[in-house]
A and B are shown apart, each in its own frame.
Chain A
């Protein structure tokens, strides 16, 4: 499988990364080089093989469903580029 210019632009949109017109060809070449490299996985017989979900034989731990942390919104927003009253500020999204 290989990607065309339109697909590169679509991936950019999905990934929320602006791809300028002049960058498309280079990305297309690089992505196709990588996809060409991973293509060989298709030759592996995986009949009856389960996809890996955990690399160590463990069950995810569970804990009691209660709040154990928090109560410091000022710390949460301390590194934000723009805040007001401990809210993150973004451009208007709802008209």
Chain B
């Protein structure tokens, strides 16, 4: 029998419908793969085997009767940021010690409504703050990919490192993830998987642990563009419980995947050609341009003049919002509690011990830029720059550009414990230099694996779309996937 875990989500769905195998068999195969692989990869922080088996059994009954939703019986991994009723939900932080919510997030509710099976909760950077999955309280996730002739452990990217690693290593059919500055697209690029951050407002944020509310969006990581589109359709939708959720009909995204790029205008922003960018990334970008042209797209040079200011503006806006959102972790309502001589002691000690270093650093920055006397100089200035970043995109879209092609990351996966990045937090932040503009402008962005570097590690390209035009991203992403025609399967060592 073929290894069921190697099937794409679309193929698994077809197999279930044709009764070639059952969801119980498929789920069992994934649970076995997790048992073998997770001790090495550390992608899951909690495995919900019994629950998964029960959900699979219920799906099998529906499938046998010729019923079931669009994801009926499909086993998924869920990022630890999503509230899952009665199940480990800690944002990979110690401060949410033992937290098991009494509610289910809207996005995961949508997935269960459509018949999906939950395998467990996926590791991530603590509170989604990081680009390497090294800030997790549960330890780093190991990238299933290794450089040619090397046993060195690499990071899977972050913050959705567990989601990306689990999808790449066949430990789930697809996964939920979230993206505040690149946390879906950067790990997808570093693991040879597909990740899309939809337009702000497309997915409900209700029940998802908040990091920076004006930037956070949920989205899927999957093995193919088609799989990502199937996931996106189920995850999306209006939710009255999220005040920024947009009341728009959800298209059948999968129907757009084979639409092609004939007649589309693709913008190539000159500001994304960074100093010191590796030649391999530049070559991949040129290759992507050639593929889109060959399929009938028109390519146009464009300018997004405020690009270089997106990352510094992000490092004011995101920590500011985080310092406010994370004020709720006080040792009183849930999670960890350290006792002291009085209530201030209780707060200060709980937060000192419960938050990791990166989270504390960001809360401190956020507190500083919002404090009296600095608010206008930092926060208001950053929000004005954000207006300009968004305007840059509006101008090119109004000029007839349908989507924008850029590299997804400035490099392939790097080593765990990278000394340079440890010494200087800004070096780690630069990982998001190509992705963060999209969050600042609220736009959709997809990362698609497109090539490999000299060491055999995957590299991705990013497409940025107009608000609520994820369909064009799926269509253009599929052209890149099809043109590259590379098998992005890591050599199994775990």
Contact = CB atoms under 8 A, between A and B. Distances in A.
Interface in A39-62: 39-42, 44, 46, 49-56, 58, 60-61
B347 A16 contact: yes
A50 B335 CA distance: 39
A15 B244 contact: no
A37 to B, nearest CB: 5
A63 B96 CA distance: 32
A91 B368 CA distance: 28
Nearest to B98: A79
A42 B381 contact: yes
Given A18-B351, A91-B343, A41 B201 contact: no
Interface string B454-491: 00000000000001000000000000000000000000
A18 B425 contact: no
Nearest to B374: A1
18 contacts: A11-B367, A14-B367, A15-B351, A38-B316, A41-B385, A44-B306, A44-B384, A46-B381, A50-B384, A51-B386, A52-B383, A54-B244, A55-B390, A55-B441, A60-B244, A72-B102, A81-B336, A92-B342
A49 B387 contact: yes
B199 interface: yes
A15 B363 CA distance: 7
Contacts of B308: 40
A69 to B, nearest CB: 9
A5 B356 CA distance: 21
A79 B385 contact: no
Nearest to B242: A61
A15 B367 contact: yes
B214 interface: yes
B470 to A, nearest CB: 14
B387 A30 contact: no
A38 B52 CA distance: 46
Given A52-B387, A55-B390, A80 B244 contact: no
A73 to B, nearest CB: 11
Category for how many chain A residues contact B: 35 or more
Nearest to A48: B384
A93 interface: yes
B349 interface: yes
A3 interface: yes
Closest 10 pairs between A and B when the two form their complex, measured CB to CB: A55-B442, A51-B383, A79-B334, A81-B337, A18-B348, A18-B352, A46-B384, A38-B312, A15-B367, A75-B102
B368 A11 contact: yes
Given A13-B348, A79-B99, A79-B100, 15 more contacts: A8-B364, A17-B363, A27-B361, A38-B313, A38-B378, A40-B308, A42-B381, A46-B381, A52-B384, A55-B441, A55-B442, A72-B102, A88-B332, A91-B341, A91-B343
Interface string B133-165: 000000000000000000000000000000000
Nearest to B316: A38
Contacts of B316: 38, 41
B312 A90 contact: no
Interface of A: 1, 3, 7-8, 11-20, 27, 30-31, 33-35, 37-42, 44, 46, 49-56, 58, 60-61, 63, 72, 75-76, 78-82, 88, 90-93
A38 B425 CA distance: 13
Contacts of A31: 361, 364-365, 368
Which one of A7, A15, A37, A82 has the greatest number of beta carbons of chain B within 10 Å?
A: A15
B309 interface: yes
Given A17-B348, A50-B387, A56 B243 contact: no
Nearest to B241: A69
Given A34-B315, A38-B378, A52 B351 contact: no
A31 B349 CA distance: 21
Contacts of B440: 55
B288 interface: no
B344 A52 contact: no
Contacts of A33: 424-426
B333 A79 contact: yes
A3 B426 contact: no
B390 A52 contact: yes
Interface in B185-201: 199-201
A88 B327 CA distance: 17
B347 A56 contact: no
B330 interface: yes
Nearest to B247: A61
A11 B320 CA distance: 13
A13 B423 CA distance: 25
Interface string B375-400: 00110111111111010000000000
